[in-house]
Amino acid sequence: MPVSTFRAEFLDTVSGLARGAASPGLALFLWLLCVGAAWAGEWLPLANDGIHDPRSRAVKILQQPREALQGLTPDHAGNQVRWVQVLEKGEIRPREKLFPQTVVQKLDLDVILDAKGGMPAVRFPHRPHTEWLDCVNCHDGLFAKSVGQSKISMFKILQGEQCGVCHGAVAFPLTECARCHSIPRPGQSKPVIPAGIDPRIHQAIGQGQK
Amino acid sequence: MKILSKLRASIAVAAVLILSAVMFVDINDAQAEYGDVVINNYSDGAGMRPVVFPHWFHRVRFRCKVCHADLGFKFQAGGNEINMVKIIDGQFCGACHNGDIAWSVENCNLCHSGKPGTPTQVHESTVQKLAQPSGAKK
C-alpha cells in the first residue's frame, strides 16, 4: 500500500474513533494523535499534488520532492526541511551569483523587535537572511535601514506584507510563531538582549560559490 | 453540579470534533509542495498548460538573491509578466534555461506542466490558508 493511502486510511480510522469516543479525554488524545500524524508530514508525488496535470508527460520526468528533500535536515513545517541548517551544514551548496561582477554582501547583525501585546520579543537575524538574500530584497522597499522605523505589525505580516512577503509563501510559514518570537520575557517589559551579539558587517567581494 | 460538568464535557467534545473536522479536510486534500508557484497569465488563453515553478527545486541550486536581485524577479506570483519572447531573449527563466546553465526552451512540457485552469498563485501559503476555508478549491 502506498504510504499516502495508508495515511489517509489511518486518519479516517482515527477520526471515526474520535467521533465515537465516549470521553472528551480520549477524543482529545486521539485528536492530538492526528495532529502528530499531520506534523510527521510527507511529500506528495507530483501526479497527485493538485497542481500538476497527471496526464502530462512531465510528471514522469520531473524530480519528486521526496527524492530531493528527504535526506536533508528535517523540519515539521513548510518544505519539511530546516533550510537555514541545511545551508549551514553544507548539505546543499546553492550558487550565490551568476555574473562575475555581482558583489555578494552579508551582514551579521541581530535586530530585536519588541512586540506589543505580551508576545515574546522578535529576534530578526541578518546572518541567515543575507546568506540567501541580498540587501536590496528588503532595503529600503520592505524595511527601513534603521531600527524601529518600519512599523512592523503582525496584522500586516498575516496579510502577506513585511516579513509575510516571504514567510508564509516560500520561507518557513507563519504558524511557527516561536521561531520569530524567540526571546521570552520573564515578566519584565524590556526584552532580554542576549549577550554576545556582535554587529559586524562582512562584505565578501567576489567570493563566488561557497 | 452534574449538569454543569456534563455541559462542559460536551462543549469539549464539540470543540475537539470541530478542530478535527478542520484538520481532516485539510489533510486529505491534495497539497502542492510549499512554495510552488503556478504562473498562468497567458497560458490558458494560448492553449498551453499553466507553468509550475518549484521553489524547492531551484533553491537547492541557487540562493534567492540570484533570481530576486540579479535577475530582477519581483516577489509576486504572476507579477513579472513573463512570456516566451522574453524567455527566448534571455530574460527571467531564459537567463538559465538556455541550454547552458539549464536545459533550453524546447522542453515546453517541463515548464508547462500544470493542470489547465489552475489560477496564478503561490501554493500552500499561510495567507491563502487563512483567507480560504479549508477544503475550498485551490
Averaged pLDDT for residues A70-93: 97
| Lowest-confidence pick of A53-62, A169-178, B119-128 | B119-128
Cα(B8)–Cα(A43) distance, integer angstroms? 39
**Residue B81's CATH number:** 3.90.10.10
Residues of the domain holding B109: 37-130
> Are A66 and A43 contacting, i.e. CB atoms less than 8 angstroms apart?
yes
Cα(B40)–Cα(B27) distance, integer angstroms? 26
As a whole-number percent, the residues of chain B with pLDDT over 70 amount to 72
| Lowest-confidence pick of A71-85, A189-203, B15-29, B75-89 | A189-203
Residue A176 pLDDT > 90: yes
CA nearest B29 in A: which residue? A50
Q: What is the pLDDT of residue B9?
A: 54
Give a yes or no: residue B4 inside a domain.
no
CA nearest A58 in B: which residue? B110
* B46 reaches A (C-beta below 8 A): no
Long-range contacts of A203-207 (CB under 8 A, 24+ apart): A203/A103, A203/A105, A203/A106, A204/A104, A204/A105, A204/A106, A205/A103, A205/A104, A206/A100, A206/A103, A206/A104, A207/A96, A207/A104
Query: Which stretches of A64-205 are DSSP H helices?
Result: 65-69, 83-88, 126-132, 154-158, 177-180
Q: What is the pLDDT of residue B99?
A: 96
Smallest CA–CA distance, residue A186 to chain B, in Å, is 30
| CB pair distance less than 8 Å for B66 and A27 | no
Structural domain count, chain B: 1
- What pairs with residue A95 in β-bridges? B62
Nearest to A148 by CA among A119, A123, A114, A188: A114
pLDDT tens digits for range B48-72: 999 999 999 999 999 999 999 999 9
Residues 6+ apart with CB under 8 A from A154: A115
CA distances from A20 to A26, A169, A210, B13, B19 (A): 10, 37, 56, 10, 15
Joined together, the cell numbers standing for residue A188 give 519584565
Averaged pLDDT for residues A154-170: 95
CA nearest A103 in B: which residue? B70
Give a yes or no: residue B14 inside a domain.
no
B109 exposed, middle or buried (CB, 10 Å; 0-12, 13-18, 19+)? Answer: middle
The confidence band for B31, taking pLDDT boundaries of 50, 70 and 90, is confident
Smallest CA–CA distance, residue A144 to chain B, in Å, is 18
User: pTM for the complete prediction?
Assistant: 0.85
CA angle B99, B104, B107 (to 5 degrees): 145
| Lowest-confidence pick of A31-40, A84-93, A140-149 | A31-40
CA distances from B129 to A1, A89, A174, A177, B79 (A): 30, 32, 11, 16, 21
* A102 reaches B (C-beta below 8 A): yes
* B47 reaches A (C-beta below 8 A): no
Q: What is the pLDDT of residue A195?
A: 44
pLDDT tens digits for range A86-126: 999 999 999 999 999 999 999 999 999 987 778 899 999 99
> Are B49 and B112 contacting, i.e. CB atoms less than 8 angstroms apart?
yes
Please name the residue that has the C-alpha cell 533570481.
B67
Cα(B40)–Cα(B121) distance, integer angstroms? 8
Chain A residue numbers with beta carbons less than 8 Å from the beta carbon of B49 are 53, 56
Averaged pLDDT for residues A20-41: 43
Q: What is the pLDDT of residue A102?
A: 95
* B20 reaches A (C-beta below 8 A): yes
Give a yes or no: residue B7 inside a domain.
no
Joined together, the cell numbers standing for residue A26 give 480520549
More confident residue, A74 or A115: A74
CA distances from A198 to A112, A128, A138, B22 (A): 13, 14, 21, 45
Q: What is the pLDDT of residue B8?
A: 57
User: To the nearest whole number, what is the mean pLDDT of chain A?
Assistant: 77
Residue A204 pLDDT > 80: no
**Cis peptide leading into residue A140 (ω within 30°):** yes
Give a yes or no: residue B136 inside a domain.
no
Nearest to A11 by CA among A33, A40, A42, A28: A33
The confidence band for A147, taking pLDDT boundaries of 50, 70 and 90, is confident
> Are B80 and B74 contacting, i.e. CB atoms less than 8 angstroms apart?
yes
Averaged pLDDT for residues A33-50: 68
The CATH number of domain A105-210 is 3.90.10.10: yes
SS3 (DSSP) at A125: strand
* A58 reaches B (C-beta below 8 A): yes
Averaged pLDDT for residues B89-109: 97
The two beta strands, B37-39 and B51-53, are antiparallel
Amino acid found at B88: I
SS3 (DSSP) at A5: helix
Q: Where are the domains of chain A?
A: 105-210
Smallest CA–CA distance, residue B28 to chain A, in Å, is 7
Residue A204 has what DSSP assignment? E
* A143 reaches B (C-beta below 8 A): no
Quote ipTM for the complex. 0.75
Give a yes or no: residue B6 inside a domain.
no
